[in-house]
Copies of this chain bind each other. A is one copy, B any other.
C-alpha cells in the first residue's frame, strides 16, 4: 500500500489569475514581502499496489487521464509506503 503525494501546477508559461488575486490580497493585508504567487493542487491518493513500480505506473496514468490537464499543467508525485490501515492524509 502506497500513498502518492501529487503536486499539480500550472506550466510556468501559463498565466495564473488565481495567483495574481491571492498576491493582491496579500498586499492589501500588508504582506508587502510577498512576490510572485502560483496556485496549484495537492492530492493524497492511497494506492493498493504490491510494488512501487506498479504504483508509479498507476499514478502517472491517473494524472495523465484525470487529475491534471496536460495542456496547461505539470504534475509531479512521490510515493510513500504506508500500512494498509492508514488513511490519507
The answer, among B36, B39, B47, B88, for a CB contact under 8 Å with A87, is B36
Q: Tell me if A39 and B33 are in contact (CB < 8 A).
A: no
A79 within 8 A of B: no
Q: Tell me if A67 and B9 are in contact (CB < 8 A).
A: no
The answer, among B1, B34, B66, for a CB contact under 8 Å with A46, is B34
A72 within 8 A of B: no
Task: Give the complex CA separation of A89 and B66 in angstroms.
Answer: 22
**Chain B residues closer than 8 Å to A48, beta-carbon distance:** 33-35
16 more CB-based (< 8 A) A-B contacts, given A31-B61, A39-B41: A1-B35, A7-B42, A8-B42, A12-B87, A12-B89, A22-B66, A25-B66, A34-B45, A34-B48, A35-B88, A36-B45, A36-B88, A38-B43, A38-B88, A38-B89, A41-B42
